[in-house]
Amino acid sequence: MFLKYSKRSKQFCVNGEESIFNSKVILVRAKRVLKSMWVERGRRTGEKTKMEKVDLAFTMAYTSGMNNVVPEFPKNPSPFAIRGRIRSFKYAFAGVWTMLKTQHNAWIHAMATAAIAVLGAFFGLSDWEWCCLVLAVMAVWTAEALNTALELLADVASPEFHPLVKQAKDVAAGAVLIAAIGSAVIGGLVLGPYVLRFLREALF
């Protein structure tokens, strides 16, 4: 089996029906050809070709199941557009809604957030106290969102059980636990004196 590249069709042709992406040997050869092509292209155009981009483009083509197609460089980012920014907010809110629908811990975070907001408004906290509580709450929500995203990606990458995937999920869950403990400490330091004073006045 041999590898031949056609500049006209921009495709790799192999001797047989087997795709080049089904053989490790052909993969290595194809990668070398791609690197030499893009290095030569950089010499002609004056652009600097980074091998990281070559590896990224080739990996994207391989993992997407493309057959006999030469991967291209990642395109330049599109110009700034208000409609695109609005669409990005839509995707972000969709991600938050997915987290709230699928993660039971997110429900606990939501109830804790509501309780902190009610207590803070009831006791009339100062500005710096509100800042401390908001930062603590946002730290927990951010950790939970990252944990959810990692779990979803891990489930796609490894549908079957894998010990390393389990360890990755455990570490991400541990990050949420650390953020929650830190937030609880901050909440106790800020709201604790107000709650104790209120109970002392109510009981005695």
- Can 72 be counted among the known catalytic residues? no
Minimal CA–CA distance to 170: which of 147, 153, 152?
A: 147
Q: Can you list the domains of the chain with their CATH numbers? A: 3-63 (no CATH), 82-203 (1.10.287.3610)
Mean pLDDT of 46-55: 55
Q: How confident is the model at residue 93 (pLDDT cuts 50, 70, 90)?
A: very high
CA dist., res. 137 & res. 98, Å (int): 19
8-32 tens-digit pLDDT: 544 555 444 344 444 455 556 666 6
Task: Reply yes or no on whether the pLDDT at 42 is more than 90.
Answer: no
Cα-Cα-Cα-Cα torsion 96, 98, 102, 104, nearest 10 degrees, comes to 10
Q: What is the DSSP letter of 12?
A: E
Catalytic residue among 17, 72, 144, 151: 144
Single-letter amino acid, residue 87: R
167-178 tens-digit pLDDT: 999 999 999 999
Structure tokens at 87: 């669409």
Q: Flag whether the pTM goes above 0.75.
A: no
In this prediction, what percent of the chain has a pLDDT beyond 90? 47
CA dist., res. 191 & res. 113, Å (int): 13
112-167 tens-digit pLDDT: 999 999 999 999 999 999 999 999 999 999 999 999 999 999 988 888 888 899 99
Residues in CB range of 184: below 8 A, 6 or more apart: none
